[in-house]
C-alpha cells in the first residue's frame, strides 16, 4: 500500500462545531486506487471526516491536499469526488435512468450520449435495461444501492466516498453488495473511501482501515494488522468477540491478573509497559486436556454454548469472567454444562495493549 | 342468513347511512343555493313556484358583476403568486434549516392565523390609515397576504419536512451549481407542496370576506357584494353569484388535484 502515490493527504485536520471538537487533528494519507475504510462507533467523527473530504463541510484547522494541491476551499461541486450517501439521496421525482444521467445532464452532455452511458453503467451494475424508465422509488433496497453507485460513477470521479450505504440492508444482501462493491473497485481502479461502524464490513472490503474514536484516528493498518495487532483495548474490542484480561507486569515477562489470581507469560510488549490488557481471540483460545498443553492455562466451568454454523462458541467461566472459545463444528466438545474445563493459549497468540 | 352475517350486514348499512347523512349535511346547503338561484320570481320563496334561469342571464350580463369578478380574481392571483414565493422561502426557514431563533420564528409566523379575521381587518384598516395608504383592492392584497402567507408557509412546510436534505447535497456533490440544485431538485421535489400552497392561497383569498370588508376601500369583491346584497336588496342574483363562486372554487380544486394525479401517473410507470 505504501508504494501507491498519495491521492489524498490530510494534514492535522480539525473540525469544531461550537465548543465540540468532532475531529481532532487527523493526519492521514490515502493512496491512489486504494480502498480505504474509516471505521468507528457513531459519534466518532468519521462522517465529519468524509464530509470534509467531499467538500460538504470545511475544516476548522489543517489542510486537505488532493494530489498535492490544497483543496480546503474548493466546493463539493468542483471536486473530482463523489459521495454515495447513507440515505442514498436518489431523486424521487426522476426515473432510474434520469437519476444516473443527472451528473451528465449538469455537464450538458447530449441526451443520446447520456442514455448510452447510463445503460452502460446499468449493465455494469447488473440493473436490467428495462429499469431505465422505472420510477426510482419503486426499486428494491439493493437496486437503489446500485442506482446510487451508478449515478456516482456517471460523474466519473477520481475518488468515491461511501457514507455507510449498506447499513440499512439485511445481512445476506449486504454480503452480496459488499462483494459487488469490491469488484467495482477492482474494475474501475478508482480510490474508494468508505465509512462504516462495522469492522467486519471494513475487513471484507478494504485495503487499509483507519479506526476512529472520539474524533481521533487511533490506528491505521491493513485488515490483518488491525486484527492481529490492535494497538489498544478499544480497537481489539471493536472487531467483535474477544477475551480481555486486565493485567500488570510483575517482573521480566510475567503478567499478573489480580481478578483471576493467575500469572501469564507476556507476549512482546510496548516499551515502558506497566499495566494494561491481555487480548486473546476466541479462535486462539483452546480447550485443553492438561496444563502442559498450552503455555498459559486457566481452569473454569463450561457455562454455555452457541452454534454459529460452521463453528461453535463456548463460554467458560473463570471466577467472575466469562471467556469465549471458538471451535470448528467438527470438533464439538460434547461436555455437559458446568463441567470443569481447562482453557489455554500460547503466548504468541496473545496481544498486550493499553487502554 | 346466520346471525354473524346479519350483524355484518347491519353494520355495513349503518356505516352507509352515516356516510350518506354526512354528505347530505355538507352538500345540501350548496344544493339549496342552486335551487334558490333557479327561480323566476324576484323574491326568495320556498318551495319555488316558478322555475327559470332569468337571474343567471341577468347576472352574467351585468357589468357590475364582471367588475366584481375582475377585482376578486386580480386580488386572488396576485396574492397567490406573492404568497407562494414568500411561503416557499419561509417554509425552508421553517422546516429545512436549523438556525438560531427558528423556534421563535415558527411561532411568530403562525400567530396571524389565530387572530380573529375581523379584528385583523380592523387593525389593518387603522394601520393603513395611519401610514396614509389609499384603500383599494391593492391594499386588500396586502391584508390578505398577512393572513394567507402563514397558511401557505405551513402548507409548504409539511412538504419540506419530508424533504431529505441529502438530496440537495447529492446534487451539489454531482457537480450542480446552487441554482441548478434549486431548479433540478429542490423545486421539483417540493412541487406538490407549492401547488397545494398556491391552491390554498387562491381559494382563501377568493372566499375571504372579513379582511376585504375593511381594506378594499371603494372596490368590491364577490364575497363583499354578496354580503351587502343579503343585508339589503336581495335578489336571486345572490344565490346565482354564490353558486358560480362555489363552482369556480370547486373546479379549481378538482382541476388542481387532477393535474397532480396526472403528473404523478405520468411519472410512475
Q: What is the pLDDT of residues B122-170, one digit of tens each?
A: 999 999 999 999 999 999 999 999 999 999 999 999 999 999 999 999 9
Average pLDDT over residues A98-113: 95
Whether B169 sits inside 8 A of A56 (CB atoms) is yes
Q: Note the pLDDT of residue A185.
A: 95
Answer yes or no: are the C-beta atoms of A22 and A48 closer than 8 Å. Answer: yes
Chain B residues touching A155 at Cβ < 8 A: 174-175
B183 touches chain A (CB under 8 A): no
Work out the average pLDDT over A140-153: 94
pLDDT tens-digit map of A242-295: 999 999 999 888 999 998 989 999 898 877 788 899 999 999 999 998 988 999
More confident residue, B40 or B240: B240
Cα distance between residue B74 and residue A312, in whole Å: 79
B267 pLDDT band (50/70/90 cuts)? low
B172 touches chain A (CB under 8 A): yes
Minimal Cβ distance to B174: which of A106, A134, A138 = A106
CB-CB under 8 Å, B172 with A85:
no
ipTM, 2 decimals? Answer: 0.85
Percent with pLDDT over 90 in chain A: 72
CATH 2.40.50.140 fits A241-353, yes or no: yes
| pLDDT > 80? residue B45 | no
Cα–Cα distance, B39 to B53 (Å, whole number): 7
Percent of chain B past pLDDT 70, that is, above it, reads 99
Highest mean pLDDT among A164-173, A303-312, B14-23, B247-256: B14-23
What sign does the CA torsion over A68, A70, A75, A78 have?
A: negative
Higher pLDDT, B236 or A190: A190
Which of B175, B187, B193, B264 best probes binding to A when mutated, by most A CB atoms within 10 angstroms?
Answer: B175
Task: Determine the residue among A54, A102, A157, A160 to mutate to test chain B binding: the one whose Cβ has the most chain B Cβ atoms within 10 Å.
Answer: A102
- In this complex, the residue of A89, A134, A138 whose CB is nearest that of residue B170 is A89
pLDDT at A141 exceeding the cut of 70: yes
Chains A–B, number of C-beta pairs less than 8 Å apart: 69
Q: Does residue B102 have a pLDDT over 50? A: yes
Chain A positions in Cβ-Cβ contact with residue B182 (cut-off 8 Å): none
The minimum CA-CA distance between B174 and chain A, rounded to whole Å, is 5
* Residues B68, B71, B74, B78, CA torsion sign: negative
The confidence band for B75, taking pLDDT boundaries of 50, 70 and 90, is very high
Residue A3 has pLDDT above 70, yes or no: no
- Which residues in chain A are closer than 8 Å to B263, comparing Cβ atoms? none
Q: Is B101 part of the contact surface with chain A (CB cutoff 8 Å)? A: no
Strand partners, B51: B39
- Nearest by CB to B188, from A55, A77, A93: name it: A93
Of B174, B188, B191, which has the smallest distance from its Cβ to A82's Cβ?
B174
Domain boundaries of chain A, sorted by first residue = 6-228, 241-353
- What are the chain B neighbours of A99 within 8 Å (beta carbons)? none
User: Looking at the domain that runs over B55-268, which CATH code has it been given?
Assistant: 1.10.3720.10
CB contact under 8 A, B169 and A151: no
Band (pLDDT 50/70/90 cuts) for residue B233 is confident
Q: What pLDDT sits at residue B230?
A: 86
Residues A37, A194 contacting (CB under 8 angstroms):
yes
Q: Treating both helix axes as pointing N-terminal to C-terminal, what angle do B187-206 and B137-161 enclose, rounded to 10 degrees? A: 140
Contacts of A18 in chain B (CB under 8 A): none
If you average pLDDT over residues A46-68, what whole number do you get?
94
Q: Which of B166, B180, B268 sits opposite A106 (nearest CB)?
A: B180
Topology, domain A6-228: Rossmann fold (3.40.50)
Task: Give the whole-angstrom CA distance, residue B220 versus residue B226.
Answer: 10
- Check whether A220 has a pLDDT greater than 60: yes
Instruction: Inspect the interface and report whether the beta carbons of A106 and B169 lie closer than 8 Å.
Output: no
Q: Å from B103 to nearest chain A CA? A: 20
Which of A51-55, A178-182, A342-346, B27-31 is predicted with the least confidence, judged by mean pLDDT? B27-31
Q: Tell whether the model's pLDDT for residue A196 goes beyond 90.
A: yes
Run of H or E residues at B35: helix B3-37
B81: pLDDT confidence band, cut at 50, 70 and 90? very high
The three-state secondary structure class of A68 is coil
pLDDT(B268) > 70: no
B267 touches chain A (CB under 8 A): yes
Tell me if B241 sits within 8 A of B233, measured CB to CB: no
Give tens-digit pLDDT for A321-347. 999 999 888 888 888 888 899 999 999
Average pLDDT over residues A215-240: 90
Q: Is the peptide bond before B198 cis (omega within 30 degrees of 0)?
A: no
Which of A56, A86, A106 minimises the CB distance to B175? Answer: A106
Nearest CB to B268; choose among A55, A86, A135? A135
**DSSP strands (E only) in chain B:** none
* Residue of chain B minimizing CA distance to A155: B174
Which of B171, B174, B187 should one mutate to test binding to chain A, selecting the residue with the greatest count of A CBs within 10 A? B174
- B164 contacts chain A (CB < 8 A): yes
Which three cell numbers mark A253? 515477562
How far B268 CA sits from the closest chain A CA (Å)?
A: 6
Nearest Cα residue in chain B from A86: B166
Please say if the pLDDT value at position B222 is more than 70: yes
Return the residue matching grid coordinates 364575497.
B223
Cell of A135: 420510477
Please, what sign has the CA dihedral across residues B264, B266, B267, B269? positive
Residue of A nearest to B168 (CA): A89
Question: What does the pLDDT read at residue A1?
Answer: 46
Query: What are the domain boundaries of chain B?
Result: 55-268
Report how far residue A201's alpha carbon sits from residue B117's, in angstroms, rounded to the nearest whole number.
60
Per DSSP, B39 falls in state B
Amino acid at each position: 500500500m505504501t508504494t501507491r502515490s498519495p491521492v489524498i493527504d490530510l494534514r492535522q485536520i480539525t473540525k469544531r462545531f461550537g465548543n465540540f471538537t468532532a475531529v481532532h487533528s487527523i493526519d492521514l494519507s490515502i493512496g491512489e486506487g486504494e480502498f480505504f475504510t474509516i471505521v468507528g462507533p457513531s459519534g466518532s467523527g468519521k462522517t465529519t471526516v468524509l464530509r470534509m473530504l467531499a467538500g460538504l463541510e470545511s475544516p476548522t484547522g489543517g489542510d486537505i491536499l488532493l494530489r498535492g494541491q490544497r483543496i480546503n476551499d474548493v466546493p463539493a461541486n468542483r471536486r473530482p469526488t463523489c459521495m454515495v450517501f447513507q440515505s442514498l439521496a436518489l431523486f424521487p421525482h426522476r426515473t432510474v435512468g434520469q437519476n444516473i444521467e443527472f451528473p451528465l445532464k449538469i455537464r450538458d452532455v447530449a441526451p443520446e450520449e447520456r442514455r448510452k452511458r447510463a445503460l452502460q453503467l446499468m449493465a455494469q451494475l447488473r440493473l436490467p435495461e428495462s429499469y431505465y424508465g422505472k420510477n426510482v422509488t419503486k426499486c428494491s433496497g439493493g437496486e437503489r444501492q446500485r442506482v446510487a453507485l451508478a449515478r456516482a460513477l456517471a460523474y466519473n470521479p477520481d475518488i468515491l466516498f461511501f457514507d455507510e450505504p449498506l447499513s440499512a440492508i439485511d445481512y445476506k444482501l449486504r454480503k452480496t453488495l459488499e462483494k459487488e462493491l469490491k469488484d467495482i473497485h477492482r474494475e474501475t481502479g478508482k480510490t474508494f473511501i468508505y465509512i462504516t461502524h462495522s469492522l467486519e464490513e471494513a475487513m471484507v472490503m478494504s485495503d487499509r482501515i483507519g479506526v476512529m474514536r472520539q474524533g481521533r484516528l487511533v490506528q491505521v493498518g491493513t485488515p490483518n494488522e488491525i486484527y492481529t495487532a490492535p494497538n489498544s483495548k478499544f480497537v481489539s474490542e471493536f472487531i467483535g468477540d474477544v477475551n480481555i484480561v486486565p493485567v500488570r507486569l510483575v517482573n521480566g515477562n510475567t503478567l499478573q491478573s489480580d481478578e483471576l489470581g493467575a500469572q501469564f507469560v507476556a507476549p512482546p510488549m510496548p516499551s515502558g509497559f506497566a499495566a494494561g490488557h491481555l487480548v486473546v481471540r476466541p479462535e486462539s483460545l483452546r480447550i485443553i486436556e492438561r496444563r502442559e498443553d498450552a503455555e498459559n492455562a486457566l481452569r473454569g466451568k463450561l457455562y454455555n454454548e452457541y452454534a454459529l454454523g460452521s463453528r461453535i462458541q463456548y463460554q467458560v467461566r473463570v471466577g467472575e469472567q466469562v471467556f469465549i472459545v471458538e471451535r470448528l463444528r467438527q470438533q464439538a466438545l460434547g461436555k455437559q454444562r458446568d463441567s470443569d474445563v481447562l482453557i489455554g493459549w500460547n503466548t504468541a497468540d496473545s496481544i498486550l495493549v493499553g487502554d | 342468513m346466520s346471525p354473524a352475517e346479519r350483524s355484518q350486514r347491519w353494520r355495513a348499512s349503518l356505516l352507509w347511512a352515516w356516510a350518506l347523512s354526512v354528505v347530505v349535511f355538507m352538500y345540501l346547503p350548496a344544493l339549496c343555493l342552486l335551487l334558490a338561484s333557479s327561480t323566476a320570481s324576484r323574491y326568495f320563496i320556498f318551495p319555488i313556484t316558478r322555475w327559470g334561469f332569468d337571474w343567471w342571464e341577468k347576472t352574467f350580463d351585468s357589468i357590475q358583476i364582471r367588475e366584481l369578478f375582475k377585482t376578486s380574481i386580480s386580488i386572488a392571483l396576485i396574492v397567490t403568486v406573492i404568497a407562494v414565493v414568500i411561503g416557499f422561502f419561509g417554509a425552508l426557514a421553517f422546516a429545512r434549516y436549523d438556525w438560531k431563533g427558528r423556534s421563535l420564528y415558527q411561532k411568530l409566523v403562525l400567530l396571524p392565523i389565530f387572530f380573529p379575521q375581523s379584528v385583523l381587518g380592523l387593525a389593518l384598516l387603522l394601520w393603513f390609515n395611519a401610514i396614509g395608504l389609499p384603500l383599494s383592492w391593492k391594499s386588500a392584497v396586502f391584508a390578505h397576504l398577512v393572513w394567507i402567507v402563514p397558511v401557505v408557509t405551513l402548507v409548504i412546510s409539511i412538504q419540506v419536512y419530508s424533504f431529505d436534505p441529502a438530496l440537495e447535497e447529492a446534487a451539489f456533490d454531482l457537480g450542480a451549481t446552487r441554482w441548478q440544485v434549486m431548479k433540478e431538485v429542490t423545486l421539483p421535489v417540493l412541487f406538490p407542496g407549492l401547488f397545494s400552497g398556491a391552491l390554498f392561497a387562491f381559494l382563501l383569498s377568493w372566499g375571504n370576506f372579513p379582511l376585504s370588508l375593511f381594506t378594499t376601500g371603494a372596490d368590491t369583491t364577490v364575497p363583499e357584494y354578496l354580503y351587502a346584497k343579503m343585508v339589503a336588496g336581495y335578489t336571486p342574483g345572490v344565490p346565482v353569484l354564490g353558486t358560480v363562486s362555489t363552482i369556480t372554487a370547486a373546479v379549481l380544486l378538482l382541476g388542481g388535484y387532477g393535474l397532480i394525479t396526472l403528473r404523478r401517473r405520468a411519472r410512475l410507470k
